[in-house]
Chain A
């Protein structure tokens, strides 16, 4: 079997693609970027839960207390912590993008430092949310 037959191709561009991401050691900037994407997709789904909570909390005093009591039990509390932490990472990575758009930290080394700062601050943020929630 030739290489070409072995690889899926698009109708537009029939050239084979032999880049196997799984065999490559990715830099920290790549992990920061992938995490930004993953947390973004997670926030799309989390928005549903947040909207539900907003709806319930504003509907009546009884449903407000109902949401509060749900958030008191362990699993929903963990989900709330997860959403807060995911949103915190996504926001920090977004702010890093805005800073880089302004021309700050656009070098190779700047990108690495920025990604490390985002991961460090997001970890601190997740810890802070944990301390606040439990």
Chain B
């Protein structure tokens, strides 16, 4: 069973780089959010933050990074454990089903974030 067909960018080297670039975006986003939450946050200041265009763009970047990062990470986990060797003859079908569920969820996450931030 060829597994690279469900990988994020078809090649391991590219997936490796995407995983690292997206990790930096996510790390800076979560550090920023943690910094905001550790200060005194109320609805007015929280809403004002997310009304800024740069924060909307930053949030969208983080959501796209999350989708790519999770896709690559889950693909690595699925192709290691959800295999015919680990699960028997149904291994490939189970993996593809999980892959599909994960991918659809991640697309859903991105759409959800766009709706949250831009509506």
Contact = CB atoms under 8 A, between A and B. Distances in A.
B73 A40 contact: yes
Contact of A47 (B23, B42, B66): B66
B116 interface: yes
Main secondary structure of the interface of B (DSSP, over half): helix
B15 interface: no
Contacts of B85: 8-10, 17
Contacts of B105: 44, 48
Interface residues of A, number: 29
Interface in B31-59: 38, 42-43, 46-47, 50
Interface residues of B, number: 29
Contacts, number: 66
A55 B43 contact: no
Contacts of A51: 109, 112-113, 116
Contact of A58 (B23, B38, B50, B84): B50
Given A12-B1, A17-B85, 12 more contacts: A8-B85, A9-B85, A10-B1, A37-B73, A40-B74, A41-B73, A43-B70, A47-B70, A51-B112, A58-B117, A64-B46, A91-B27
Going nearest first, the 6 A-B pairs with the smallest beta carbon separation are A64-B43, A61-B43, A40-B73, A10-B84, A55-B116, A94-B23
Interface of A: 8-12, 17, 37, 40-41, 43-44, 47-48, 51, 54-55, 57-58, 61, 64-65, 87, 91, 94-95, 97-98, 101, 132
